[in-house]
Amino acid sequence: MIEIKGVHKSFGDLEVLKGIDLTVNRGEVVSIIGASGSGKSTLLYCINAIESINKGNIIVDGIDVHDKKTDINALRQNLGMVFQQWNSFPHLTVLENAALAPQVVKGFSKEKAEAIATKELTHVGLGDKLHEYPTKMSGGQQQRLAIARALAMEPPYMLFDEVTSALDPELVGEVLDTLRLLRDDGMTMICVTHEIAFAKEVSDKVAFFHEGLIEEIGTPQEVLDNPQKERTQQFLSKVL
């Protein structure tokens, strides 16, 4: 379970998160929507401790992420993260990309790491690309590689930060299909997304962010079909 309690985050004078409370249970898919600059991505970065927080707590399976005593590298193994940009490691093949972290972080043997990596890469449909270099592949393929690379650490949680935003429109589908696959596997996911239709289809909960606060949260039917707040209605009327 991921518990986010009263989280505040500022960059200098700019307060980006103004008290976020959110709970994500195991097996749940939570989508976060909202305008650019509303703090959606920042929250994901705070969950993974890539960014620090100013106030509040983020607790993952009982461990306080921002406690100084927390072993952050151990914690991050439980929180797979995929970014807007796929950041493939250009000097490694597809297989090596996905097998690197299990080897160096978990200390698995090369064979074991590559077995896991092969399994995850096949799962996301890259089974025939194992020995290619990622720089030769399309953005959609590289983003699926990034997903498999995170999955190879076998994390119970996955965080997705606008993973389709940097893709050409015709490549969005294959990445969303991969996310659907993970949902069907029962993966716990937090997806920051601009794909409203997708959020509606896969989410158990949808949170609408507005200027650093959760303006509205509920089931996709509640938030996306019958939004109660005026700001949610305005946002949806613009993007739908």
Partner 1 sequence: MNLFTPLSWNDTGFILTGILNTVYISVIAIVVGSLLGLLIGFIRAESNKTVNVCLGAILDILRSVPLIIQLILFSTFIGVMGFPLPPFVTGSIILSLYTMAFMSEVFRSGFNSVPTPMIKAARSLGMNYLQTVRYIRIPIGMRAVFPSWIGVALSVIKDSALVSVIGYMELLRTAEQLISRTQQPLMILIGVGLFYFMISYPLSRYGKYIERKMEI
Chain positions contacting partner 1, by CB under 8 A? 48, 50, 73-74, 76-77, 79-81, 83, 85, 87, 89-91, 100-101, 104-106, 133, 135-136, 146, 149-150, 153
Token representation of residue 89: 């490691």
* Complex with partner 1: residue 12 or 90, whichever CB lies closer: 90
* Complex with partner 1: residue 115 or 217, whichever CB lies closer: 115
* Complex with partner 1: residue 106 or 112, whichever CB lies closer: 106
Q: How far is the CB of 133 from partner 1 (least distance, A)?
A: 5
8 A C-beta contact, residue 16 and residue 41: no
Rounded Cα gap, residues 32 and 207, in angstroms: 5
Token representation of residue 159: 């965080």
3-state SS assignment for residue 63: strand
Place of tokens 């989280």: 7
Q: How far is the CB of 157 from partner 1 (least distance, A)?
A: 12
Tally Cβ neighbours within 10 Å of residue 68: 6
Q: How far is the CB of 91 from partner 1 (least distance, A)?
A: 5
Rounded Cα gap, residues 156 and 33, in angstroms: 22
Q: How far is the CB of 25 from partner 1 (least distance, A)?
A: 22
Q: What is the DSSP letter of 181?
A: H
Rounded Cα gap, residues 66 and 15, in angstroms: 18
Q: How far is the CB of 48 from partner 1 (least distance, A)?
A: 6
* Complex with partner 1: residue 144 or 200, whichever CB lies closer: 144
The whole-angstrom distance between residue 163's C-alpha and the CA centroid of its chain comes to: 8
* Complex with partner 1: residue 57 or 77, whichever CB lies closer: 77
